[in-house]
Amino acid sequence: MSITKSYNKHTNTWYVYDTTYVFDETKNKKVQKRKCIGKYDPVTDSIIET
């Protein structure tokens, strides 16, 4: 489990995700699962939960 940031250039917004990897037996490889935690504010360097 790790926290990742992603930038949406259309809305000019940073989003913060909780990222985990799960093994998919049908594909026989790891698959990324992400859950949105909230928005990231680069000015205050904080996470705004949604």
pLDDT in tens, the chain (50 residues): 899 999 999 999 999 999 999 999 999 999 999 999 999 999 999 999 98
Confidence (pLDDT) at 50: 85
The total domain count for the chain is 1
Structural domain boundaries, residue 41: 2-49
CB 2 within 8 A of CB 26: no
* Of 32, 41, 42, 26, residue with least CA distance to 1: 32
Nearest in space to 14 (alpha carbons), one of 30, 50, 25: 50
Q: What is the pTM of this model?
A: 0.79
